[in-house]
């Protein structure tokens, strides 16, 4: 069975890699040999009770089979971080990917696992011994020089590797966001300081909304016409970046102007006492509330939002709605509840409210009547954005009807992007740091104070959102905040990372975009100002710049982990 397990793992990896842009090396199946050898030792020790080895063989094969369609979709077998993200809130998305192709791949692995032990049993002892010697010789170099990239690891070694810390904390004190490449600000925004003093504040986090899909950012289609209209009289940041391409840790960076860190869970953030923007607003006499169409149980969201200054916290379970999915409720129901809360306030009370819709989230489902028939995943996604935009229009109209629209500061941003195969195996949002994953819309509207479109092309980060709101509203920014106001004149870089599979970290610095594994492997450099599709890797031609960026991101990642988990 051990020799059969090696063959099963090798077939599973071949199925993962078929059609992929992956460099094949002689050692690519070495970790499969290592797993099979370990199983062979167990099989020999239990040779008088073969049923014990069989009870282990079946789950090993099953796990390998399940990972094949998953890895073809995400470019990675399951990791500890992916296991943590899987729950009832994602059941609709999981079911959506249980396709005939996925079933066929699983069945293929099952057939190989069933037939091979029978075939191996017919070989002579000498033949089996020879195969074992080859397997052992093949395993040894793989043990000393293991493959580290995500999809080239088998399901078991990838899971084991993801349990180990990818970053070791170091106490470092540097200004990590000082530009390395030379670039200049394109527009002076200092005149906007304090222009929103006394206004209500509405923060809107658009779920899974990438900048490149929207008309104000150059898209041919216009899935969000209400947002487009609002942008005509707003400050729009053309190069804004999420800190982390996933909603919950990204929300922490927005609320508290603090970076998340590698190898951390949401409960680690509950103890971080960096004042949230809602706390600052409440300290300045504002009423505060957060309304979420999804569910706070997803990925431990409560650890992020509890004790952050919100008087009211309501999710889909509190709100209810006319349409429910595993992930939440329909957007109009959340908008109605938010407007009811505004109605409940005493006349003249200023408010700071946050609205977290879910319409852009996979599987891009919208209520009957709003859904387009057929179409690709991307078409369904754009339709979900259109549905989300309809709810945004209802919110804006509701505030106009209540006479508070013209005295409100609106801050609207995408919490992260969404990918549809623009780069090899890049689907969804959590596994890579390409533009489609981390470049997001960010616009600020203050009707009457900002009367025409202002487009700022300098680099912005969502960690700067809270300081920018404070600067506009005339609040004093807490010293604990790591972001800086985007109204300042100095240029900054954006830093971002992901650790769901490969531990990737990146920088946007002026016209440059740098991405590498945090341990220093696989660096890529793009001139995104002239190559927005990130199709040409310039790393070989700019080795000194790559070295400087590599040094910066490794220090930043270690320092952030030390701050969060000293």
- pLDDT tens readout for residues 237-262: 999 999 999 999 999 999 999 999 99
- As beta bridge partners, residue 353 has 202, 289
Report DSSP letters for 87-130, one per residue. SGGGHHHHHHT--HHHHHHHHHHHHHHHHHHHHHTTS-HHHHHH
Which residue is listed with tokens 């104070």? 449
Which is more confident, 362 or 269?
269
Contact 192, 450 (CB under 8 A): yes
Range name among 20-24, 116-120, 222-226, 522-526 with the lowest pLDDT average: 20-24
Q: Which tokens belong to 196? A: 């929103």
Tell me: pLDDT of 305 over 90. Answer: yes
* Residue 108: Cβ within 10 Å count: 15
Which two three-digit tokens encode residue 289? 């509330």
CATH number (domain holding residue 511): 3.30.1120.10
Do 218 and 180 belong together in one domain?
no
Find the farthest-apart pair of alpha carbons in the chain and give their distance in angstroms, rounded: 90
pLDDT tier at 235, thresholds 50, 70, 90: very high
- Within 13 Å, how many C-alpha atoms sit on residue 293's CB side? 29
Per DSSP, the chain holds a count of helices (H) and strands (E) of 18, 14
Residue that wins the pLDDT comparison between 433 and 108: 433
- The CA-atom distances, in angstroms, between 260 and each of 119, 244, 372, 564 are 52, 8, 37, 8
Asked if the structure places residue 277 within a domain, the reply is yes
**What total number of domains does the chain contain?**
3
Residue 276 domain-assigned? yes
What CA–CA distance (Å, rounded) separates 242 from 236?
A: 15
Partners of residue 517 on adjacent β-strands: 504
Would you call 218 exposed, middle or buried from its count of C-beta atoms within 10 A (0-12, 13-18, 19+)? exposed
Give the list of residues 6+ apart from residue 38 with CB closer than 8 angstroms, or none. none
Whether 55 and 144 map to the same domain: the answer is yes
Could you give the 3-state DSSP secondary structure of residue 140? helix
* 422 and 549 housed in the same domain: no
Sheet with strand 512-517: strands edge to edge: 494-498, 504-509, 512-517, 524-527
Summarised one tens digit per residue, pLDDT across range 55-75 is: 888 888 898 888 888 777 777
Asked whether 216 and 231 are in contact (CB, 8 A), the reply is yes
Give φ, ψ of 117 to 5 degrees. Answer: -60, -35
Q: Is the domain of 375 the same as that of 510? A: no
Q: Are residues 176 and 203 in the same domain?
A: no
Would you say residue 192 lies in a domain?
no
Tell which of 490, 519, 554 closes a domain: 490
CA angle 39, 45, 46 (to 5 degrees): 90
What confidence category does residue 29 fall into, taking pLDDT thresholds of 50, 70 and 90? confident
Spatial separation of the C-alpha atoms in residues 211 and 366, rounded to whole Å:
21
Structural domain of residue 143, as residue ranges?
2-163
In this prediction, what percent of the chain has a pLDDT beyond 90?
55
Element (DSSP H or E) covering residue 335: helix 331-344
CATH code, domain with 433: 3.40.720.10
Strand 200-206 relative to strand 454-461: parallel, antiparallel, unpaired?
unpaired
More confident residue, 372 or 204: 204
pLDDT on residue 329: 83
| Spatial separation of the C-alpha atoms in residues 550 and 512, rounded to whole Å | 13
| Token pair of 152 as six digits | 């080239």
Q: Are 77 and 21 in contact (CB under 8 A)?
A: no
Residue 189 lies in a domain: no
Residue 138 has pLDDT above 70, yes or no: no
Mean pLDDT of 532-558: 95
Token representation of residue 528: 């995104």
17 and 134 together in one domain: yes
Q: Establish if 128 belongs to a structural domain.
A: yes
Q: What b/e string do you get for 376-395 counting C-beta neighbours within 10 Å, with b at 16 or more?
A: ebeebbbbbbbbbbbbbbbb
Claim to verify: residue 367 and residue 455 sit in the same structural domain:
yes
260 and 391 together in one domain: yes
Sign of CA dihedral 493, 494, 498, 499: positive
Q: Is residue 191 a part of any domain in this protein?
A: no
Confirm whether 190 is domain-assigned: no
Select from 211, 182, 101 the least CA-distant residue to 438: 211
Query: Cα separation of 293 and 327, whole Å?
Result: 8
Q: Is the pLDDT of residue 142 over 60?
A: no
Query: CA–CA separation, 329 vs 211, rounded Å?
Result: 25
User: What is the pLDDT at residue 102?
Assistant: 79
Residue 313: φ, ψ to 5°: -130, 115
Token output for 145 = 């020089």
- In this structure, what are the phi and psi dihedrals at residue 429, rounded to the nearest 5 degrees? -145, -15
Contact 2, 39 (CB under 8 A): yes
Residues 549 and 561 in one domain: yes
Mind listing the pLDDT tens digit for each residue in 323-346? Answer: 666 567 889 999 999 999 999 999
Query: Using CA atoms, how far apart are residues 71 and 320, in angstroms rounded to an integer?
Result: 35
Strand positions, DSSP E, 251-393? 287-292, 312-314, 351-356
Residue 324 is classified by DSSP as: B
Within a domain: 306? yes
Least confident of 74-88, 428-442, 508-522: 74-88
CA distance 415 to 210: 8
125 lies in the same domain as 30: yes
Whether residue 264 is found in the same domain as residue 300: yes
Note whether 467 and 432 are within 8 A (CB).
no
Write down which residue in 429, 459, 490 finishes a domain: 490
Q: What does the block give as tokens for 56?
A: 């282990």
End residue of a domain, out of 490, 524, 540? 490
Report H helices in 425-491: 435-438, 465-473
Q: Let me know whether 298 and 202 are in one domain.
A: yes
Contact at 8 Å (CB) between 91 and 325? no
Rg of the chain (C-alpha set)? 26
């Amino acid at each position: 069975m051990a020799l059969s397990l090696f063959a099963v793992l090798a077939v599973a990896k071949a199925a993962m890699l078929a059609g992929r842009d992956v460099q094949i090396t002689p050692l690519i199946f070495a970790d499969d040999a290592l797993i099979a050898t370990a199983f062979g030792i167990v099989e020999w020790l239990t040779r008088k009770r073969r049923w014990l080895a069989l009870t282990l063989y079946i789950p090993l094969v099953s796990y390998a089979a399940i990972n094949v369609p998953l890895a073809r979709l995400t470019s990675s077998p399951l990791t500890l971080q992916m296991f943590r993200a899987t729950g009832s809130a994602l059941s609709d998305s999981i079911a959506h990917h249980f396709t005939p192709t996925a079933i066929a791949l699983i069945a293929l692995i099952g057939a190989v696992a069933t037939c091979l032990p029978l075939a191996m049993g017919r070989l002579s002892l000498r033949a089996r011994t020879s195969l074992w010697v080859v397997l052992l010789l093949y395993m040894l170099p793989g043990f000393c020089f293991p493959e580290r990239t995500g999809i080239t690891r088998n399901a078991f070694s990838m899971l084991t590797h993801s349990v180990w810390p990818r970053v070791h904390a170091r106490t470092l004190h540097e200004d990590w966001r000082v530009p390395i490449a030379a670039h200049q600000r394109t527009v002076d925004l200092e005149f906007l300081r304090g222009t929103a003093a006394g206004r209500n504040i509405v923060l809107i986090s658009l779920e899974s909304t990438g900048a490149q899909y929207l008309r104000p950012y150059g898209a041919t289609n216009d899935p969000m016409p209400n947002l487009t209209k609002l942008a005509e009289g707003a400050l729009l940041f053309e190069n804004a970046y999420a800190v982390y391409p996933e909603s919950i840790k990204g929300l922490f960076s927005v609320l508290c102007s603090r970076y998340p860190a590698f190898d951390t869970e949401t409960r680690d953030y509950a103890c971080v006492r960096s004042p949230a923007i809602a706390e600052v607003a409440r300290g300045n006499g504002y009423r505060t509330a957060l309304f979420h169409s999804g569910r706070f149980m997803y990925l431990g969201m409560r650890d992020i939002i509890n004790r952050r200054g919100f008087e009211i916290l309501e999710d889909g379970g509190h709100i209810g709605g006319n349409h429910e999915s595993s992930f939440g409720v329909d957007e109009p129901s959340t908008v109605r509840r938010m407007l009811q809360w505004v109605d409940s306030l005493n006349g003249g009370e200023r408010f700071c409210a946050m609205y977290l819709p879910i319409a852009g989230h996979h599987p891009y489902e919208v209520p009957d009547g709003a859904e387009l028939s057929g179409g690709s995943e991307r078409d369904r996604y754009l339709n979900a954005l259109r549905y989300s935009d309809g709810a945004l229009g209802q919110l804006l109209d509701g505030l106009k009807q209540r006479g508070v629209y013209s005295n409100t500061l609106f801050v609207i941003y995408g919490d992260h992007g969404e990918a549809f195969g623009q780069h090899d195996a890049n689907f969804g949002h959590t596994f890579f740091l390409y533009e489609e994953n981390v470049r997001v819309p960010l616009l600020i509207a203050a009707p009457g104070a900002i009367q025409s479109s202002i487009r700022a092309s300098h680099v912005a980060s969502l960690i700067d959102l809270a300081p920018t709101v404070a600067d506009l509203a005339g609040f004093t920014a807490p010293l604990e905040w790591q972001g800086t106001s985007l109204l300042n004149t100095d240029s900054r870089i954006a830093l971002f990372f992901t650790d769901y599979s490969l531990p990737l970290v990146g920088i946007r610095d002026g016209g440059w975009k740098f991405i590498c594994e945090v341990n220093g492997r696989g660096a890529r450099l793009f001139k995104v100002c002239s190559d927005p599709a990130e199709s040409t890797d310039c790393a070989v031609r700019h080795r000194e710049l790559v070295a400087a960026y590599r040094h910066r991101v490794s220090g930043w990642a270690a320092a952030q982990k030390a701050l969060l988990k000293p």
